[in-house]
Amino acid sequence: MQCLNDRSGNPINMVPLVSYVQSVSKLIIVPILGMILGNAISAIGVGLNTVQKEFSENRDKVETYLAMGASRFEAVKPVGVEALKLALLPTVNQMR
């Protein structure tokens, strides 16, 4: 294993640098990860709620699509598009 040397050939002690980087990364990564996970959980909750509501309100439309020969993906596409729009709305609004 090679070690890092300065210009005069003396080994460089990397322990303080590594511990500093680890402590700074904890201070930065933990809050950012919390924000990302919080937004993801919020979007998932809104999306699932919208999917459930849209399926209950538009059950007849989905069944009509299926009866007319549409694939299951084609039949539920409008529901998925609406749920995705509403799920991403809070995240997009935070970016303004």
Report d(CA 3, CA 10) in Å as an integer.
Answer: 10
The owner of tokens 């402590």 is 23
pLDDT tens string for the chain (96 positions)? 456 666 776 666 666 766 776 777 777 878 888 888 888 999 999 999 999 999 999 999 999 999 999 999 999 999 999 999 999 998 888 887
Residue 13 is predicted with a pLDDT of 65
**pTM: predicted TM-score of the whole model, two decimal places:** 0.64
Give me the residues paired with residue 5 across strands. Answer: 11
Domain-wise residue ranges, the chain: 15-94
What is the reported pLDDT for 64?
95
b/e per residue 60-84 (b: at least 16 CB within 10 A): eebeebeeeeeeeeebbeebeebbe
